[in-house]
Amino acid sequence: MHLESADSSWASVPGVDGPVSAAVARHTGCTGAIQRVFTEQGRIVGMTVTDRIFNVHQRRAITLRDKECLIRGCHVPASWCEIHHVTEHSRGGPTSTDNGVPLCWWHHRSLEFSGWEIRMHDGLPEIRGPAWWDPLHHWRTPRLWLPDFAFT
């Protein structure tokens, strides 16, 4: 994938004819659809996405913690959601349970322009809604009913 400068609004993605929006390219990277392929004299010698993709154990823990899409009013089960890096991986955010939250397909793709914001505070997600939802723009814990849970 090749992103043009920050002033541009398009990118090129291998396998896609023509330019795509920078937002599409960023989301492609966020979902882990980009892999590093290492070659030596034309032979593939390695592939990795391990530092970008939440593994099954991390997904299970995030799903147990958050239950459903993090955005208020959306009740898509977390097991159906994509796991979003709160601090983007491309900006140094780790692929860890303290940096991942479940977002449904729609909210994951619209987060950038929807007005919703997400941050982590002591390992728990907090959200801040757009002005139409919360004119005071307070940070809130999405699920006040978070149960204590144990991993078995």
* Per-position DSSP letters for 44-86, written without gaps between them: EEEEE-TTTS--HHHHHHHHHHH-B-SSTT---BGGGSEEEES
In this structure, are residues 47 and 37 in contact, taking their beta carbons and an 8 Å threshold? yes
Residue 38 has pLDDT above 90, yes or no: no
Region 33-43: mean pLDDT is: 69
Whole-number Å distance between alpha carbons of 120 and 98: 7
Region 79-94: mean pLDDT is: 90
Q: Which of 122, 121, 151 lies closest to 139 in space, CA to CA? A: 121
Choice between 133 and 30, residue whose per-residue pLDDT is larger: 133
Phi, psi (rounded to 5 degrees) for 151: -90, 130
Residue 110 has pLDDT above 50, yes or no: yes
Question: What pLDDT band is residue 5 in, cutting at 50, 70 and 90?
Answer: very low
| Helix/strand/coil for 28 | helix
pLDDT at 20: 72
Burial class (CB in 10 A: 0-12, 13-18, 19+), 129: buried
Residue 1 has pLDDT above 50, yes or no: no
Would the pTM count as exceeding 0.75?
Answer: no
Q: Is the Cα torsion angle 80, 49, 101, 148 positive or negative in sign?
A: positive
